[in-house]
A and B are shown apart, each in its own frame.
Chain A
Amino acid sequence: MKEIMAVIRQNKVNVTKKALSDAGITSFTATGRVSGRGLGLVDMKVLKGAEEGDPQAISMLGQGPRLIPKRLLTVIVSDDWVEKTVNAIISANQTGKPGDGKIFVLPIFEATRVRTAETVTGASGGNVLDSSGGLE
């Protein structure tokens, strides 16, 4: 099983939810507001402006790192569903501009369904992950 963590734009949550359910992945967890920064595009611009002596850019320096609000989606799927899930998230979120977000794929060693206490380990989710690939 794999855990797919996707940091996406705030206004893309609904589109992503629809794309995932269209792809047959019905279950996922959305963490409310997270904030973050990427390769520091905003900061780099400010820094460059400050180097060139722009007074507005200089006044923006030293206010601490700026973080941009995002949403974090966590989907847990069996190994053979990873590619499909990643593609669904990318196609729903891609605008081509910096700031679309990142997707990380991490291993999961064990999953348990609380209702029945069934536990599975390994590549496939077996009974615990539903037939569509997500945690039921």
Chain B
Amino acid sequence: MSSKYLMVRSIVRPEKVDTVLEALLEAGYPSVTKIPVFGRGKQRGLKVGEVTYDELPKELLLCVVPENDKDFVVKTVVEKAKTGKGNYGDGKIFVSPVEEIYTISSGVKQE
């Protein structure tokens, strides 16, 4: 593989998914996979009065992008997925290396 690829996994609020996806599409990153997930963060879930929510519903977005575009994609997701200044529960983004990519329809390895 001539240029390196990275997988950007973003955990975002379900109501922010459409905004994020639209922004990515417009910026030229149409490819994405969306997985509904449940989780909690540092705040150990959410407490509303008497009721505690141990796990909150989120959406996990997988995008695989060239190394050089990673900063832009991360910036776009951060911009679009945040609800305000330092609100808890806006989510996290993780970036990991991808070593090989294959397109199944052609069976071709991405170079």
Q: Which positions in A face B, CB cutoff 8 Å?
A: 2, 5-8, 31, 33-40, 43, 64-65, 67, 70, 72, 82, 86, 89-90, 93-107
Contacts and interface: CB of A to CB of B under 8 A. Distances in A.
B34 interface: yes
B97 A36 contact: no
Contacts, number: 91
A34 B104 contact: no
Most chain B CB inside 10 Å of its own CB: which residue of A7, A43, A105: A105
Given A94-B105, A94-B107, A104-B7, A67 B98 contact: no
A70 B32 CA distance: 11
Given A38-B31, A90-B102, A100-B103, 20 more contacts: A2-B99, A6-B104, A8-B104, A34-B34, A35-B34, A36-B31, A37-B30, A37-B32, A40-B30, A43-B30, A65-B21, A65-B22, A70-B33, A72-B33, A89-B104, A104-B64, A105-B99, A105-B101, A106-B99, A107-B97
B34 A96 contact: no
17 contacts: A6-B104, A33-B36, A36-B62, A37-B31, A39-B31, A65-B21, A90-B102, A93-B104, A94-B107, A95-B105, A102-B64, A103-B101, A104-B64, A105-B101, A106-B7, A106-B96, A106-B98
Given A90-B107, A102-B104, A104-B64, A36 B99 contact: no
Size class of the B contact interface (CB-based, 8 Å)? 20 to 34
A64 to B, nearest CB: 5
A105 B104 contact: no
Q: Is the interface of B mostly helix, strand, loop or mixed?
A: strand
A35 B37 CA distance: 12
B25 interface: yes
Interface in B84-111: 96-107
Nearest to A96: B105
B18 interface: yes
